[in-house]
């Protein structure tokens, strides 16, 4: 059995923008779409948490949202992880958290370093492969709360894909731009409807299949 870790925020958790605080149906969440397509012999572990950042603290959060701090525990819990898919950075765009694409870049780099450091070195295991995923772009919204919470995020989120692609090349990771297949809902400007959530899972299938060949 090979393990694929889907590590992300509320988009990975499956937040439905049309139903505040609720999730999409199980089959519509992208990690579960990926699981269904990969089939037997592969376990996709969905580790999505609303508000999770790459490596920055949210001091108003009700639990630890710093992705880098909890990542070693997750990796050890599910070891050996054959492929780690990391889709984080949207919450880094909040001015109260970090407020820039460069901060997300540095946080994502830290997450990749952690995965590579915690990759088990045992006979017969090729090492944990990493997929760096740039999340869907933040879009304009009429929701005044989300518009203020992510002030500047519409423009900042456009910088993530080139930053992350360069990072992936530098650190020997695969790269995927989720904005190439998914668009956030204008309801809150951040979260996805079911069709766009499913699209991410579908698009990741060939990437993950290739990485699992070793």
Q: What is the pLDDT of residue 74?
A: 97
Contacts of 203 (CB under 8 A, 6+ apart): 176, 178, 180, 181
**Quick one: pLDDT at residue 123?**
84
Dump pLDDT digits (tens) for 174-211: 999 999 999 999 999 999 999 999 999 999 999 999 99
pLDDT of residue 69: 98
pLDDT digits (tens, 9 = 90+) for 101-111: 999 999 999 99
Domains and CATH numbers, the chain: 2-211 (3.40.50.1110)
Give the residue-averaged pLDDT of 28-56: 97
Q: Is the pLDDT of residue 93 over 80?
A: yes
The model's pLDDT over 52-63, given as tens digits with 9 standing for 90+, comes to 999 999 999 999
Residue 121 has pLDDT above 90, yes or no: no
What CA–CA distance (Å, rounded) separates 18 from 106?
32
The distance of Cα 6 from the centroid of its chain, to the nearest Å, equals 7
Query: Is residue 77 within 8 Å of 8, Cβ to Cβ?
Result: no
């Amino acid at each position: 059995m090979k393990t694929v870790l889907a590590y992300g925020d509320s988009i990975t958790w499956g937040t439905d923008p049309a139903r505040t605080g609720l999730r999409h149906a199980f089959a519509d969440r992208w990690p579960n779409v990926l699981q269904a397509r990969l089939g037997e012999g592969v376990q996709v572990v969905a580790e999505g948490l609303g508000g999770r950042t790459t490596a920055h603290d949210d001091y108003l959060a009700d639990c630890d949202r710093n992705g880098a701090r909890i990542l070693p525990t997750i990796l050890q819990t599910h070891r050996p992880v054959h492929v780690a898919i990391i889709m984080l950075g949207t919450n880094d765009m909040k001015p109260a958290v970090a407020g820039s694409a460069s901060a997300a870049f540095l946080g994502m780099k830290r997450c990749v370093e952690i995965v590579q450091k915690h990759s088990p070195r045992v006979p017969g295991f090729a090492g944990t492969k990493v997929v760096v995923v740039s999340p869907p772009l933040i879009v304009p919204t009429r929701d005044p709360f989300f518009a203020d919470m992510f002030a500047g995020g519409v423009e900042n989120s456009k910088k993530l894909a080139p930053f992350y692609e360069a990072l992936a090349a530098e650190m020997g990771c695969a790269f995927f731009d989720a904005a190439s297949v998914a668009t956030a809902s204008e309801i809150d400007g951040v979260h996805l409807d079911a069709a766009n959530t499913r699209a991410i899972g579908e698009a990741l299938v060939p990437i993950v299949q290739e990485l699992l060949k070793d």
